[in-house]
Amino acid sequence: MIIENVKLALRSIRANKLRSFLTTLGIIIGVASVITIISLVQGIFNTIKVQQEQMGTNIITIQPYRATTNFIELLKEPPELTMEDAFVLKKQIEEVENLAPIVFSSCNASSKKLNHSSSLYGVYPLYQDINGQYVETGRFINYLDLKHRRKVCVLGREVVDNLKLGNNPVGKYILVDNVPVKVIGVMEKKGSFFGRSMDDYVFMPFTTVIDIKGKDLKKHIYIQLTISNLTKINQVKEQIIKILRTRHKIKENEDDDFKVQTQEDILESFEKTTSVITLIVAGIVGISLIVGGIGIMNIMLVSVTERTKEIGIRKAVGATKKNILYQFLVESVILSLTGGVIGIVLGFVLGFLISKLIPNFPGMYVPFGGIVLAFLFSSLVGVIFGVFPAYKAAQLNPIDALRYE
Amino acid sequence: MNDNILIKLDKVSKIYKMGEVELKAVDRISLRIKPGEFLGIMGASGSGKSTLMNILGILDSPTEGKYFLKGRDVSSLNDVEASVIRNKEIGFVFQTFNLIKGLTAFENVETPLIYAGIPKKRRREIVEYYLEKMGIADRMNHKPNQLSGGQRQRVAIARALVNNPSILLADEPTGNLDSKTTAEIMELFHQIHQEGKTIVLVTHEHDIGRETEKTIVLRDGKIIEEIIN
């Protein structure tokens, strides 16, 4: 019986090709848009995740941070982390493996007549181990550089290329904010992300950067640390918060003036963002599927009216109400499911094309669950919006239906 | 119950209420049909013959009275029971053929067998047998609009017969046909009758009415005359 119903439904859909297509268009657009957007959002998220994971999961970053909820907060001195904070943490927390402060700024690098704006990081030698990012040619900054506040730098590939320093720039001098600095090494290439190069930076000794840029930079000091035992990461986080609150003399009812983030926290916040986007998209798509469903219901009602006589004939030769109900229900489910399948394919193609159109886009990814969900949801739409017309058909009185012209 | 009675109507009435007015479309009709009988029902339009036909075919149920089919009370059945009887015991032939327009001749004839739950292979055999018998086996892949009136009625008769029903109900089967085709179709009915099938044929044409074994004449929902031909 089911096979017969499917055959009947396909025949009726084929008999009204254009109408069926227009009917399913709502579903097609809804499903295609959800698959497209999910494929892109998930693609971005996956790339971020991979990058975070490359950095190692045992990193904790502490940065000055104040939740500004009102004007008074804004008027206060901006919070900062000090070198003493870093030393105390290193000394008091047993699990700390490597700990180093880092300072962020920007600079203008130049060589001969070439100028290039770049990020300036004041780092400790441990930076390499903490971030899992190593020097390719030359050497990294060492403790002597730090101690003597040497004017040396390690460059990202992008800066090397922009300043046309050639294949081996080690030993050459460049100007960083008009201060002559010797290039001692070049870092491994990381590539680009969203069209933004991740190799556009200048590393210099922490102390040298503070010297060049002045005391103002202090509020840009972060502390990075790795721990030896990953299972204790939350404990360590608690300890850090406790120590820093005491050191910063924060009262019981006040918020922290710093933020402690593990790699997991960062991933989590990304995950939160993606899931919010996904939810919003799902909402929009839900609405468009309802609109699509109404379209299907409308056309199924037309179909029932058009085929009143057929329904009468079928009842006269022995069809039960259930037979008729299923016949029309199967038809609406096939309509919406076809729309769903076309939508999934179209969404894939669109997601692929868009990811190719955006330069350096990380590539799309559609989770299997998304496809299953789109599939289930579109068949559900077929059932929900098909029930009423099908029920109407099943309830027709055979005598009236036979008389219908 | 007498075993030799196929259909027994016992003071069957069908009353339509239109506000205050009651319309008795069928008024206390009692009737017995024996297996193998060829009964004609005649009457002017509005005489109640179509309503009687609908009651006989379980498309409608009587307001009053009892209807026994093969000794079973079928006066008030639920949807599934009524559908099964329509499917297995009754074959309908209509004036306007009532073929499903999107389906081929083969598929139209196959429809009652699908509802009867007959497997596909067996369905094909049965359908081909009846189409052959009606002389339209060569047209089985044609849609109704590719067939002549006579051919359509042959398809409809084949459809009425596929489940080997106890009774064939024909409502003005030649009403839309020319005289030559009418003769051919009537010949078919005689042939089917000869093979032992019970037939009830509704008509308003006296020539056709005279071809049956017995004819009852209706007026205002009552039997006013019984003619043995």
Query: By CB neighbour count within 10 A (0-12 exposed, 13-18 middle, 19+ buried), where does A172 fall?
Result: middle
> Residue A54 in contact with residue A305, Cβ under 8 Å?
no
Structure tokens at B64: 């009053």
CATH number for B150: 3.40.50.300
Q: Which of A225, A256, A287 is the last residue of a domain?
A: A256
- The predicted model gives B86-99 an average pLDDT of 94
Residues A110, A247 within the same domain:
yes
Strand partners, B14: B26
Q: Considering the domain boundaries, does residue A59 fall inside one?
A: no
Compare all CA atoms of chain A with the CA of B118 and give the residue at the minimum distance.
A1
- The predicted model gives A304-320 an average pLDDT of 93
Q: Considering the domain boundaries, does residue B2 fall inside one?
A: no
Cβ separation of B86 and A11 shorter than 8 Å?
A: no
* Paired sense of beta strands B198-203 and B167-171, if any: parallel
- Tell me how close the Cα of B171 comes to any Cα of chain A, in angstroms: 12
**Greater confidence, B108 or A35?**
B108
Domain count within chain B: 1
Is it the case that residue B1 has pLDDT exceeding 50?
Answer: no
Residues A294, A385 within the same domain:
yes
pLDDT digits (tens, 9 = 90+) for A217-241: 777 888 988 888 878 888 888 888 8
Per-residue DSSP letter, A315: H
Is it the case that residue A257 has pLDDT exceeding 60?
Answer: yes
Residues A178, A93 within the same domain:
yes
Where residue A359 falls among pLDDT bands split at 50, 70, 90?
low
Cβ separation of A317 and B115 shorter than 8 Å?
A: yes
A126-164: b (≥16 Cβ within 10 Å) or e: bbbebbebebebbebbeeebbeebbbbbbbbbbbbebbe
Residue A277 belongs to domain spanning: 2-51+269-403
B155-178: b (≥16 Cβ within 10 Å) or e: bbbbbbbbbebbbbbbbbbbebbe
Residues A353, A286 within the same domain:
yes
Compare all CA atoms of chain B with the CA of A400 and give the residue at the minimum distance.
B59
- The predicted model gives A9-29 an average pLDDT of 86
Backbone CA torsion sign across B44, A402, B53, B152: positive
- The predicted model gives B137-162 an average pLDDT of 95
Query: By CB neighbour count within 10 A (0-12 exposed, 13-18 middle, 19+ buried), where does A353 fall?
Result: exposed
A6 touches chain B (CB under 8 A): no
**Greater confidence, B29 or A370?**
B29
Per CB-CB distance under 8 Å, the chain A contacts of B79 are 320-321
> Residue B17 in contact with residue B43, Cβ under 8 Å?
no
Using an 8 Å CB-CB cutoff, list residues of chain B that contact chain A: 54, 57, 59-60, 79-80, 83-84, 86-88, 92, 94, 98-102, 111-112, 114-117, 159, 163
Smallest CA-to-CA distance from B196 within B64, B52, B70, B37 is with B37
- Tell me how close the Cα of B228 comes to any Cα of chain A, in angstroms: 30
Cβ contacts of A70 within 8 Å, gap of 6 or more: none
Amino acid identity for residue A268 in this structure: E
Residue B219 belongs to domain spanning: 7-228
**pLDDT value at residue A54:** 66
pLDDT digits (tens, 9 = 90+) for A109-162: 998 888 999 999 999 998 988 888 889 999 999 999 999 999 999 999 999 999
Q: Which of A256, A289, A308 is the last residue of a domain?
A: A256
- Tell me how close the Cα of B125 comes to any Cα of chain A, in angstroms: 17
- The predicted model gives A83-89 an average pLDDT of 85
Domain count within chain A: 2
Is it the case that residue A194 has pLDDT exceeding 70?
Answer: no
- Tell me how close the Cα of B108 comes to any Cα of chain A, in angstroms: 10
Is it the case that residue B171 has pLDDT exceeding 60?
Answer: yes
Specify the residue for token string 């986080």. Answer: A237
Residues A38, A112 within the same domain:
no
Question: ipTM higher than 0.90?
Answer: yes
Amino acid identity for residue B85 in this structure: I
A113/A273 Cα distance (integer angstroms)? 43
Q: Considering the domain boundaries, does residue A262 fall inside one?
A: no
- The predicted model gives A332-358 an average pLDDT of 88
Residues A246, A291 within the same domain:
no
- The predicted model gives A170-187 an average pLDDT of 92
Q: Considering the domain boundaries, does residue A264 fall inside one?
A: no
The pTM (predicted TM-score) of the whole model is 0.72
> Residue B42 in contact with residue B203, Cβ under 8 Å?
yes
Q: Considering the domain boundaries, does residue B1 fall inside one?
A: no
Residues A42, A150 within the same domain:
no
Amino acid identity for residue B194 in this structure: Q
Where residue B190 falls among pLDDT bands split at 50, 70, 90?
very high
Q: Considering the domain boundaries, does residue B127 fall inside one?
A: yes
Q: Average pLDDT over chain A, rounded to whole?
A: 86
Per-residue DSSP letter, A60: E
CB atoms within 10 A of CB A191: 10
Q: Considering the domain boundaries, does residue A13 fall inside one?
A: yes
